[in-house]
Chains A and B, each alone.
Chain A
Amino acid sequence: MEQIGERRRHAQMKDLVAEASRALARLDADRLEELALSCQALNRALPPASEEEGRLLAAEARDATGEMAVFRRVLEATRANLNVMNRLRELRAGRLEYGGQPGRGWSGTESGHGDN
């Protein structure tokens, strides 16, 4: 519980969530991985020992619901962007046009005929 109290003195839960949204917007993978470790630590420290601690945590959670909604939305937008980028990578690899038919390329054609 010491850990929760310590963390609360440094950053409220809403600040943590807002920081995650900002880091994701600028694709700061290092920072996001640090935040993931912080969240793991916070999760391990649950549940709080005292009723007072629980009340404070509940209040923080209520305060952070708006930021959480933003984070969720940014995360979903990122997933959609990632889908598009993966699609681009497939385009680059030519898989969309020639998917499943690698033999149509030079190397495939030649080796297929065993004439190289």
Chain B
Amino acid sequence: MGTISSAFSMMSQALDADQAALNIVANNVANANTTGYTEETPNWQENEPIEIDGVSYGAGVTDTGATSVRNSVLVARLDQQQQLASASASRLTALDTIQTLFTPDSGSSSSTAGDIGSDITSFFSSLSSLEANPTVSSDRQAVLSAAKTLAGDISNAADSLNSQRSALDQEAAGTTSQVNSLTTAIAQLNQQIQSSSPDADAGTLEDQRSEDVSQLSKLIGINQVTTENNGLSITTTSGQLLVSEGSSYQLTTGTVDGVTDFFLGGTDITSQLASGGGSLGGYLTARDVDIPSALSSLDQLAYSISTSVNKQNNAGTDLDGDNGNAGNIFSEPTAVAGSAASMSVVMTDPNHIAAAGLGDGTGDNSNAIAMADLANQAIVDGETPSNFYSNFVSALGSTVSGVQTENTAQNASVTQLQTQNSAISGVNLNDEASSMTTLERSYQAASQVFTMLNTIMASALNLGDQTSVS
């Protein structure tokens, strides 16, 4: 119960953080467009005052382009939500692939990365079996065989993760040309719009530009700034200029530490793009955060098992009578990084397994007991090997679940905005009022549902606590 309560609490905290970010986005959109609205004065034309007997009457305004203004705000919001949804969708695809890699495949006869958990158990069980028969050759061979399976599965998992990282790297690099072609097109459209209709809606040209911006926002996170004469400037979410009216700035790539980095005007903006949104943001987050995190855990696991088992084997006596120098079972890693990919079994002769304690004779089993007991010791980052692996898989599952939640909510938000947008695009005030009423009613009813469900669930979880205690 405590675990479930903790998980729920962690989830809530993560969502609070997400919500804070979402509110910032919402405020940014609203405020950005307030400024834009003031600058787009031509959309709101001030009436000529009428003078009667020297007194000026009327300083009202005529709404000449309110529809366009309204849509641009809504479309900007839609673009913002779409770029978040694109980012979580591409990250989720990558995470699903990683998770599949570590899902146990009980129906397959061949060992896979998903079997690492059972491989760990099997390896230490084989050492336990050796305790009973320290001199029996088949039991010694079984230890090496289990070690090979474990090393092979960890090594294959690392290879698969590295392959997936390369594939994501290529996907990410491939978006560069699409981004550049869109920013070039937007800059050209800016020029056409500014020269042909600086004071009015440019119709089809603006539709094209809006569509290109929408496509661009699915690829990378952007901010839009309306400029004079119907112009549009676009920056990345971290502020690097992509389009300034008639000029566009090309994104370039280069290889840094074996992966593709992204540059704008000579500045490496890879990390900013990763957190910025769009499918590129999702690819980069998976490539630079999720996969390295999984690899790091595997490296830690491989390093700790290899070094601990090797050290213990060299602290005993093997069947040939070698005292304290029986040799390594696994290849000895020199550093944690890369340990998983290079993990292998170097011992070929099962007689070199040091089952006996130092000076206790070759028929002794005390060192086999010590090696088997490594399964119960906190040798991997303060945890037993099995617990470490189990927590790694569990954390991966939580990450996938969190991104899935985010993606579902963002898609729902996009659907809502599209509904609102189509209601407004009819430029029918009755439709607009009805649409707003529906939105407000839905929100209020949903708030009631949420509040009550939250209360019911809190009560129910407490019931579970009491039940489990009693």
A83 touches B30 (CB 8 A): yes
> Closest chain B residue to A42 by CB distance?
B456
B256 part of interface (Cβ distance < 8 Å): no
The answer, among A32, A46, A80, for a CB contact under 8 Å with B22, is: A80
Cβ-defined contact, B416 with A27, below 8 A:
yes
Name the A residues within 8 Å of B446 (CB-CB). Answer: 20, 23-24, 32, 71, 74-75, 78
With a cutoff of 8 Å between Cβ atoms, the chain B residues found around residue A59 in the complex are 464
Q: Is the CB–CB distance between A113 and B44 below 8 Å?
A: no
Known: A20-B449, A39-B449, A113-B57. A78 touches B416 (CB 8 A): yes
Asked if A24 contacts B412 (CB within 8 A), the reply is yes
Q: How far is the CA of A77 from the CA of B52 in the complex (A)?
A: 53
Q: Determine how close the nearest CB of chain B comes to the CB of A84; give it in whole angstroms.
A: 5
Contact across chains for B38 and A97 when beta carbons are under 8 A apart: yes
Pair B73/A77 contact, Cβ less than 8 Å: no
Chain A residues near B163: list those with CB within 8 A: none
Q: A33 contacts which of B77, B417, B419, B445 (Cβ < 8 Å)?
A: B445
With a cutoff of 8 Å between Cβ atoms, the chain B residues found around residue A109 in the complex are 57-60
CA distance A79 to B22 in the complex (A): 10
- A-side contacts of B23, CB under 8 Å: 80
The distance from the CB of B430 to the nearest CB of chain A, in whole angstroms, is: 13
Q: Point out the residues of chain A lying under 8 angstroms from B439, CB to CB.
A: 27, 78, 81-82, 85
Stretch among B11-19, B89-97, B368-376 lining the A interface? B11-19
Distance of A21 Cα from B412 Cα, bound (Å): 8
In the complex, chain B residues whose CB is within 8 Å of the CB of A15: none
Q: Which A residues from 63 to 102 make CB contacts under 8 A with B?
A: 64-66, 68-89, 91-92, 94, 96-98
Alpha-carbon distance A9/B113, docked complex (angstroms): 40
- Given the interface pairs A70-B408, A71-B450, the reply to whether A62 lies near B413 with Cβ below 8 Å is no
What total of chain B residues lie within 8 Å of the partner, measured CB to CB? 79
With CB as the reference atom, state the residue of chain B lying closest to A105. Answer: B60
Among A28, A68, A69, point to the contact of B442 (Cβ < 8 A): A28
For A39, the closest partner residue in chain B by CB is B452
Min CB distance A39 to B, Å, is: 4
Across the interface, which residues of A come within 8 angstroms of B378, CB to CB? Answer: none
CB < 8 Å: which of B58, B440, B464 contacts A54? B464
B11, A65: Cβ atoms under 8 Å?
yes
Contacts of B55 in A (CB 8 A): 113, 115
Contact pick for A88, options B74, B452, B463, CB 8 Å: B74
Chain A residues with Cβ below 8 Å from B60 are: 104-106, 109
Does B447 reach chain A (CB closer than 8 Å)? Answer: yes
Query: Would you give the shortest CB distance from A29 to chain B, in whole angstroms?
Result: 4
Distance to closest chain B CB from A24 (angstroms)? 5
Decide: A76 near B19, CB < 8 A? Known: A70-B408, A104-B60, A113-B55.
Answer: yes
**With A39-B449, A97-B44 known to touch, is A13 a contact of B410 (CB < 8 Å)?**
no
* A84-B456 in contact (CB<8A): no
A88 touches B416 (CB 8 A): no
Within 8 A of A (CB), among B206-230: none
Query: Smallest distance from the beta carbon of B14 to chain A beta carbons, Å?
Result: 9
- B243 to chain A: closest CB distance in Å? 24
With A29-B438, A35-B449, A61-B464 in contact, do A73 and B457 touch (Cβ < 8 Å)?
A: no
Task: Give a binary string over B32-68; 1 marks a CB under 8 Å from any A CB, 0 the rest.
Answer: 0110011000001001000010010111110100100
User: Contact at A81–B4, with CB atoms within 8 Å?
Assistant: no
Are B450 and A75 in contact, with the CB atoms below 8 A?
yes
**Are B408 and A62 in contact, with the CB atoms below 8 A?**
no
A110 to B26, CA, bound (A): 39
Question: Which single member of A16, A47, A77 contacts B453 (CB below 8 Å)?
Answer: A16
Nearest-neighbour CB distance to chain B for A72, whole angstroms, equals: 6
Cα–Cα distance between A100 and B420 once the two chains are bound (Å):
28
Distance to closest chain A CB from B156 (angstroms): 31
A26–B443 CB distance below 8 A: no
- Report whether A65 and B70 are in contact in the complex, using a CB–CB cutoff of 8 Å: no
Compute how far the CA of A70 lies from the CA of B404 in the bound complex, rounded to whole angstroms. 9
- CB-contact partner of B467 in A36, A55, A96, under 8 A: A55
Q: From A35, which residue of chain B is reached at the shortest CB distance?
A: B449
Given contacts A57-B463, A80-B22, contact A75 B456 (CB under 8 A): no
Query: What is A's interface to B at a CB cutoff of 8 Å?
Result: 13, 16-17, 20-21, 23-29, 32-33, 35-36, 39-40, 42-43, 46-48, 51, 54-55, 57-62, 64-66, 68-89, 91-92, 94, 96-98, 104-106, 109-110, 113, 115
Can you list 28 residue pairs at the A/B interface with Cβ under 8 Å? Answer: A13-B456, A20-B446, A24-B416, A25-B415, A29-B438, A43-B456, A46-B459, A48-B463, A55-B464, A58-B467, A64-B457, A73-B408, A74-B409, A74-B446, A75-B450, A76-B15, A77-B410, A78-B442, A78-B443, A80-B22, A81-B26, A84-B26, A88-B73, A92-B432, A96-B37, A98-B61, A106-B60, A113-B55
